[in-house]
Structure 1
């Protein structure tokens, strides 16, 4: 059978499986369509040979786990120890666990064959998973990552078993790292590090990432690790150090498509920012307390308007002023005052808060707009509208 036919066969079976699972919600729970389907899966692969047969058997072996993930209820747990696919509708957690474990054991025996099957060659079978699959060179890589997910599954394993599985998972990551190179190697190194961090919250992630960056492994996947380092620095209020990493990434990997991730992080730190928070309880003829949260902004202007009409739109706007900006423009209002504010100096890229006051206003309903020359120069920040009522 030609490769294209194998791919279409597997895609067709996946679509049929999805349809059967959807239909089961509208049918008698005693139906056995899934067991008939699994028998069809078995029969459809009988004529395949060589690489196509190996690919087919590896991929269709996932149907049992997919069926479990999509439909199993732990309330049905009993120990009947069945491995008969014709009875899969009555299987328990233990039955699924034993069947899937045996499938992984059998597939482990095929590792040399799996190493020869290119993931890229059958990329149509992995749509929806391109981001990770891009780093899987062979079907063996994909198989081992599914094995890691299985060993991490708390539905199949007790707390003590999960603890025992940790070393198995780390050993699998070591295999993936040792058998790959370039970006694929770096990808699995980062995945292993993330797993280690999930086990040990005290692990110095920054130090581990820096060690990988200093390694002689070639690959622009290091840019994504630099992004991780920027996140750590930013969370520790070390914006300068984060921006130094951004510069390093641009110089070291000037043509990497991952640089957009760096640019996004950089923009979060360098773009001007201004937000105003008004006190909840406001009284007429008394100063109004506001808190300004800002970065890379030195001053702003507050335009204060008295509401004269369009009260329905005013009410709708106050209910959801971020998403219903159109209601703001329907409010009839007149400008009564402009107030100018100079913000305390802050170190570049540092976020700060400061307390300010609006001069007293007579009873009435008001809305306010603020603007800043710094915000106007930034393409990523728009004028934000804020409003507050003064009750008679």
Structure 2
């Protein structure tokens, strides 16, 4: 049984956090996550992360936090994935986490994603980036050792013994290149965020890693997930259009392949232009509700994106132009496939197409594209009882006048 996570609600909560000029970390949903000692070691990875009492509860969907580790073997130039466990303060795991066997010469990166309003890391966080400071955080995302991880991959790729193998994108059901997390048809207002990790939750509110052995042992559980751009691509869009995400062996159980945020971003380096890179208007990188060069670069380091020397290189207007030019025709082009696919959030949309349509329309406004370009969204949706049930594709039109001379196609 799978507990469905509200992807749209989670994305909007990040926007709300950024648009609140003085986000108060004492508010409900502003989570504090304790990082165990030596988090980049095998023992540290297998030690549960503790979600502190008071603001958040791991049993409540919109307060959950997830951790994802990707490991790079420098000698073999290969990757593996591990899911450190998060539990509530004062509780114990339903089943003790597997202690991973790390390659002798390896480097570990950690990525964090939250369904909550925000996460602030505490504990052993020397190698972690939560934002610019503990009071100026990204929101739902944090990283540990990410920059060093990606740098190790870059160095290994230039060294002797051949290049690091990053799979080609492949082609989708239409014969086009498969999308990545940097495809303008895929992104939303805060791209490249959150993780693919899932956990098993028991009826008494305890948690275990989502492995086959644990599923068989627990028998009765719900599987909780992070509302993630990365999971949206890997778990929903790719299967619907016959694409395959980049996966690596699990360090929790042999014979299983897992995706990860880091693997997605590495493969996204193959994205053909125009490439979507975090703009300075992304709610995650606003600092006190203002653009911040330092915060843009801090976030980009964590997801292996090129750094900028001035804010003009992360222009939201250019971002919006590409978003408006690429996303509507792309979504319409794959509509016949994704209309048959399940919605990541049944409370928001009745299938993957209506979900993508609603997500685009909301992001167009949340990014300020309507004001920057003086155009309304090229995609609108019809809702029934608050759920998107139809998608309408339009030509771009000025805000004034709202011409309906070409209403475009409609899907339901």
TM-score (norm 1): 0.27
Point out the structure with the larger strand share: 2
Rg: which structure is higher?
Answer: 1
Point out the structure with the larger helix share: 1
If asked which structure has higher relative contact order (CA below 8 Å, sep 6+), I would say 2
